[in-house]
């Protein structure tokens, strides 16, 4: 057990035994660090872990407090552990038909969207953003559509560069390319560093859009085992790099989709150093970065990049403006290649959307919105886990991410996720079955569930129905 895990377990035991009661305040990070002779980072990680488990909650400028639902959270299902390693050979991809079949069947608004890839649109200030767009477009310099054609609106790139700076990263605005959402950024990066037939490392399980992108570009996937809490297995990755010499890695280092795992800082640094040793670029998908549940943002792997090998991709779609399709990439040494690919594919990104978001960031509305959104998602996760505990049968294992809006459920042996998906649809419920997240269609007893719609009154009854379907399939 790592130090932060041992500290978190000790505090959890105190809550379980009644020594710490709902509403009690935990020692400050500084105080706990001094009394326990551990680093502040260790205390932060322990508190993040407790927060992800629903045992404590941070209050701005006040500290961490035991939650009212702590007793229920302690009884939650156990977390999944590392599974059997996937095949170490590169895989020719044939996943798109299965992904389309699952996604197309779950697009109706009449379904309870537990399988959705998006949080509820009601969580975002879309009306105010619309007014911001109307105002900013009236002041639009006609020449800006030419001056900022491919790299994107200069004021928006400056605001993104400032956000990097707050995290201690020097990323000049000129090194940023604005894209049509993060997915275009990721695809541009993939095209910049690979050719048909090349192999690319992905997590196991991984985001299905990554598999579709590899398939579309006639690339091969090498899946590397990924821990539900701490991300990709670096020892297994080192073996793959040595044996297969892949051309790139496509990874989510924070709040990974579908597991919700987040690599600790030391592991991110080790990842960057490992890839630098083999001169392999990292395409870092960081779209959930702003949706952390604690008090401080998780640094991306980009923070430890000293060789320009990390191509950091993100967007405003998951944290501010779904549907606006405004993302970006800081591609390091591949900036020119990515900009040229952008020029020859989509040319530019919507000017009104860029201007609206830039104005929002300049006025300071973004951070106020994010604070509310993070609190809401953390509360929704706690509620969702309580519902899962109440309704799902024994034998299920559930992740407790420290950010994002997904949980991964490992079903009891013998329960088939694809069959459960079909049966859930017949009851008006969508889920995301495990096989769509794997090049070799593994994870037959895993499902991803979305807690970004927990305020929907249909969620509780839907989880009760889903629990019954799981029990009947055991």
Going by their DSSP bridges, the two strands 446-450 and 432-433 should be labelled as antiparallel
- State how many domains the chain has: 3
> Which residue range(s) make up the domain with 377?
91-123+368-473
Three-state SS at 67: coil
Alpha-carbon 226 to chain mean position:
14
Does some domain include residue 82?
Answer: no
From the list 395, 297, 290, 383, the residue with the least C-alpha distance to 54 is 383
Q: Both 28 and 168 in a single domain?
A: no
383 and 353 share a domain?
no
User: Residue 458 falls within a domain, yes or no?
Assistant: yes
Structure tokens at 101: 């079949």
Q: Clarify whether residues 150 and 177 are in a common domain.
A: yes
Identify whether 225 is part of a domain.
yes
Count CB atoms within 10 A of the CB of residue 365. Answer: 16
Note whether residue 259 is domain-resident. Answer: yes
Phi-psi region of 80 (alpha: psi -120 to 50; beta: other; left: phi over 0): beta
Are 279 and 250 members of one domain?
A: yes
Which helix (H) or strand (E) segment holds residue 220: the answer is: strand 220-227
Do residues 360 and 375 share a domain?
no
**Do 165 and 283 belong together in one domain?**
yes
Averaging pLDDT over each range in 80-94, 105-119, 180-194, which range is the top one?
Answer: 180-194
What's the pTM value of the predicted model, to 2 decimals?
Answer: 0.87
Considering the domain architecture, whether residues 221 and 247 belong to the same structural domain is answered as: yes
**Same domain assignment for residues 99 and 60:** no
Q: Which pairing describes strands 91-92 and 220-227: parallel, antiparallel, or unpaired?
A: antiparallel
Lowest mean pLDDT among 186-195, 320-329, 364-373, 427-436: 364-373
Residue 8 lies in a domain: yes
Peptide bond into 226 cis (omega under 30): no
Residue 278 is assigned to a structural domain of this protein: yes
Domain-terminating residue out of 41, 74, 107? 74
Domain match, 339 and 270 both: yes
Task: Give the least confident one: 76-90, 255-269, 372-386.
Answer: 76-90
Q: Are residues 210 and 329 in the same domain?
A: yes
- The 10s digit of each residue's pLDDT in 317-352 is 999 999 999 999 999 999 999 999 999 999 999 989
Q: Which of 132-136, 326-330, 335-339, 450-454 is predicted least confidently? A: 132-136
In a domain, 106, yes or no: yes
Residues 117 and 35 in one domain: no
Whether 47 maps to a domain, the answer reads yes
361-365 long-range contacts, CB within 8 A, separation 24+: 361/156, 361/159, 362/155, 362/159, 365/125, 365/128
């Amino acid at each position: 057990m790592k130090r932060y895990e041992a500290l978190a377990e000790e505090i959890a035991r105190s809550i379980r035994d009644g020594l710490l009661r709902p509403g009690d305040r935990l020692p400050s990070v500084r105080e706990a660090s001094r009394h326990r002779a551990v680093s502040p980072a260790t205390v932060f990680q322990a508190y993040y872990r407790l927060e992800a488990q629903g045992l404590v909650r941070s209050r701005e400028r006040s500290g961490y407090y035991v939650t009212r639902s702590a007793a229920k959270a302690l009884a939650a299902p156990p977390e999944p552990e590392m599974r059997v390693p996937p095949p170490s050979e590169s895989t020719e991809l044939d996943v798109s038909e299965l992904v389309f079949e699952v996604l197309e069947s779950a697009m109706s608004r009449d379904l309870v969207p537990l399988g959705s890839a998006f949080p509820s649109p009601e969580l975002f200030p879309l009306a105010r953003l619309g007014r911001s767009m109307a105002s900013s477009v009236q002041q639009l310099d006609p020449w800006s559509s030419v001056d900022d054609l491919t790299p994107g609106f200069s004021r928006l790139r400056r605001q993104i560069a400032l956000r990097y700076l707050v995290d201690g990263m020097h990323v000049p605005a000129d090194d940023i390319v604005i894209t049509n959402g993060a997915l275009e950024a990721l695809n541009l990066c993939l095209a910049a560093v690979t050719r048909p037939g090349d192999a690319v490392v992905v997590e196991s399980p991984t985001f299905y859009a990554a598999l579709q992108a590899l398939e579309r570009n006639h690339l091969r996937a090498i899946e590397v085992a990924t821990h539900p809490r701490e991300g990709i297995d670096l020892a297994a990755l080192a073996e793959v790099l040595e044996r297969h010499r892949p051309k790139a890695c496509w990874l989510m280092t924070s709040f990974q989709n579908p597991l919700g795992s987040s690599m600790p800082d030391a592991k991110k640094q080790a990842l960057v150093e490992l890839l630098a040793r083999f001169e392999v670029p990292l395409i870092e998908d960081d779209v959930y970065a702003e949706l952390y549940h604690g008090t401080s943002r998780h640094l991306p792997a980009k923070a430890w990049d000293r060789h320009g090998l990390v191509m950091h991709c993100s967007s405003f779609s998951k944290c501010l403006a779904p549907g606006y399709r405004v993302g970006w990439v800081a591609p390091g040494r591949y900036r020119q290649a990515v900009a040229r690919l952008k020029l020859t594919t989509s040319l530019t990104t919507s000017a009104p959307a860029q201007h609206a978001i830039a104005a929002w960031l300049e006025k300071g509305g973004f951070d106020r919105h994010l604070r509310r959104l993070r609190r809401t998602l953390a509360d929704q996760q706690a509620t969702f886990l309580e519902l899962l505990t109440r309704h799902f049968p024994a034998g299920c294992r559930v992740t407790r991410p420290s950010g994002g809006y997904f949980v991964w459920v490992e079903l009891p042996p013998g329960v088939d996720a694809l069959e459960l998906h079909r049966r859930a649809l017949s009851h008006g419920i969508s889920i995301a079955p495990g096989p769509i997240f794997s090049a070799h269609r593994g994870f037959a007893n895993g499902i991803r569930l979305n807690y970004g719609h927990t305020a929907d009154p249909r969620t509780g009854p839907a989880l009760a129905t889903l629990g019954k379907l799981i029990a009947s399939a055991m």
